[in-house]
């Protein structure tokens, strides 16, 4: 199981299937929530996760594909695009310190 300390998180990727819609809103929301933390948030297709990603956030239905695209990255799957507890926990861990496990 991959894990990363919050101080080592510099880039979060919100991975999606089609590249439009709800995941773009989630990426925007994360950027706002993490403003001032030094963490960048980008939105990419699940099959094109960049090598410099520290954490990948994606819908649970895409988790298997994300693990194939980025097997060594911490993966945070979620069920709902806005207000999901997994994403809320990720933001809190980055702001307050701790370890993110996936």
Whether domain 3-82 has CATH 3.40.50.450: the reply is no
The Cα 23–Cα 101 span in angstroms is: 21
**Residues identified as active-site:** 16
Contact 76, 57 (CB under 8 A): yes
Among the listed residues 33, 31, 67, 64, the one whose alpha carbon sits nearest the alpha carbon of residue 49: 67
**pLDDT(45) > 90:** yes
- Tens of pLDDT, residue by residue over 47-95, are 999 999 999 999 999 999 999 999 999 999 999 988 999 999 999 999 9
Among the listed residues 90, 7, 31, 29, the one whose alpha carbon sits nearest the alpha carbon of residue 56: 90
pLDDT on residue 1 = 61
Instruction: Name the residue with higher pLDDT: 84 or 21.
Output: 84
The structural domains of the chain, with segments of one domain joined by +, span 3-82
Model confidence, pTM? 0.94
């Amino acid at each position: 199981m991959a894990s990363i300390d919050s101080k080592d998180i510099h880039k979060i990727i919100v991975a999606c299937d089609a590249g439009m819609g709800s995941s773009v809103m989630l990426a925007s929301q994360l950027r706002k929530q993490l403003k001032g933390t030094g963490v960048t948030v980008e939105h990419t297709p699940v099959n094109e996760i960049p090598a410099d990603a520290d954490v990948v956030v994606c819908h649970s239905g895409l988790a298997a594909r994300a693990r194939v695209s980025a097997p060594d990255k911490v993966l945070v799957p979620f069920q709902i695009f806005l207000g999901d507890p997994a994403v809320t926990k990720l933001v809190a861990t980055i702001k307050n310190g701790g370890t993110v496990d996936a």
